[in-house]
Amino acid sequence: MKNKFISALFAGILSLSAVACGSASKTPTADTTAAADTEAKEEASVSDSASTAELSLDTADSSSDTTFPITITHGLGETVIEEKPENVVAIAWGNPDVPLALGIVPVGISEANFGPRDENGLLAWTAKAFEDLGATPNVFDDTDGLDYEAISDCQPDVILAAYSGLSQEEYDRLSEIAPVVAYPTIAWTTTWQEETINDATALGLEEEGKALVADVEQLIADKLSNYPNLSGKRVAFFWLSEDDLGTFYIYTNNDPRAAFLGDLGFVTPDSVTSLIDDPTAFSITVSAENADVLSDIDIIITYGTESLVTAMQNDGRFSNIPAVNNGAFVLLDSNDALAAASTPTVLSIPYAIDDYLEVLNEAANKIQ
C-alpha cells in the first residue's frame, strides 16, 4: 500500500487489509488494531479474472426473481431497497468488484488506495472487468473522506459498502442520497464471501452472488490440489516495522486477510488464538518481549523485505518462533499487486491465487 494508506490503516481500520480501504472510518485504539498498512500482471494471470467476470455476466442476464422491496440488516441499521437498482455506486475496498463480476457497470466507484493502480486509479483486476464490459470507469478519490458531492452526482439507486469502515455519521449522510448496504456486523471485518453475497443481494441478485462465491471457492479448491504441502500449516499474518520491532501486530480471523488463509487450508496457531482478549478485534498487539510464546508459527506473512527477516533473526526476542528461524516468510511488497490482493475480493482471487499459492509454497518448503 501507499505509505499514506498504511498510516491510515495503522490508525484506524486495520487492516486490508492492511486494509482499511475506501472511506474514512472511526479510529480504534492501538491495542485493538494495526496498520497494514508493480507492475501490471502478466496476461496469463489477468485471464483468470476476466473469465470470472464473463461467467458472472452470463448469470446476471438470467437474474433470479427477487421481489422488491427488500430489507437488508447490517451493522449500522436496516436498509430498505424499494426497487431493483439501476444506478449503482460502490465505495471502499472491493465493493466495485461485485457488480462488475455480476456484469453490472457501476456509475461511480472509489479509487483503489493500495497497490499498483492504472491511470484511472484502479487495480488490474477491476480495470480488466471494466474493459471486458466495454465501459469507462467513473472514479472518485475518497481516501481522505467521502466525496458526497461526487456520489450524489451519480444519482445512485443504491450504495454498496458491505466491506467498509463507515461511521454512523457517514452512513446517515450517505443514506440521504440513496439506500446504503454497510458491513454486516463490525467495520472492516467482512469476508470476501459476505461482501459478494451482501452486495449482490442489494442488486436483487442474491442467488447469482452465491453462485459466484461457489465458483470461486471451487477455483480455490482446484488450485490447492496442486499444493498438498500447504494443508494444515500454521500461518500468521503480521504487521511490524523493521525500525521498531518492540511492538508488532497479528491479524485475527476477523480481518479478511487472515480469514482468507483459512480458505486456503491454513490453521491459526494456538498461540495466536490464546492472545485474543477481544473477540471483535481484527488484530492483537504483541510485545517483542513476549514473542517467545509464538512457538507454533510455521509461516509468517507480512509487508516488508528480506532486511526485515534478517532483523528479526538477529533479534533474540524472536528466536523461539519457528518461522523466523527457518526464514519461512511471505514478504509482500506494497507496490505489487499481490499485496493488494491479500485482502481478497471476488475478482482479485482468480487474478492472484497462482502467485499467492506459489510464494506460500516456497515458505512452506522452508519448514523444518
Cell of residue 231, nine digits = 494443508
24 and 136 housed in the same domain: no
Number of domains in the chain: 2
- Domain around 233: 3-36+228-364
Any domain includes 232: yes
192 and 52 housed in the same domain: yes
Element containing residue 364 per DSSP (H, E): helix 348-364
Contacts of 14 (CB under 8 A, 6+ apart): 20, 33, 34, 35, 36, 37, 188, 251, 255, 257, 282, 283
> With contact defined as beta carbons under 8 Å apart, do 242 and 304 qualify?
yes
pTM of the predicted model as reported, rounded to 2 decimal places: 0.85
260 and 352 housed in the same domain: yes
**pLDDT at position 66:** 87
**pLDDT at position 64:** 61
**pLDDT at position 143:** 82
- The mean pLDDT values, 10 residues at a time, for the chain of 368 residues are 34 35 31 36 38 43 75 97 98 97 98 95 98 98 92 98 98 98 97 98 98 98 97 97 97 98 98 96 97 98 97 98 98 95 98 98 97
**pLDDT at position 63:** 53
81 and 174 housed in the same domain: yes
Exposed / middle / buried, residue 33 (Cβ in 10 Å: 0-12, 13-18, 19+): buried
Cell numbers 479448491 correspond to 221
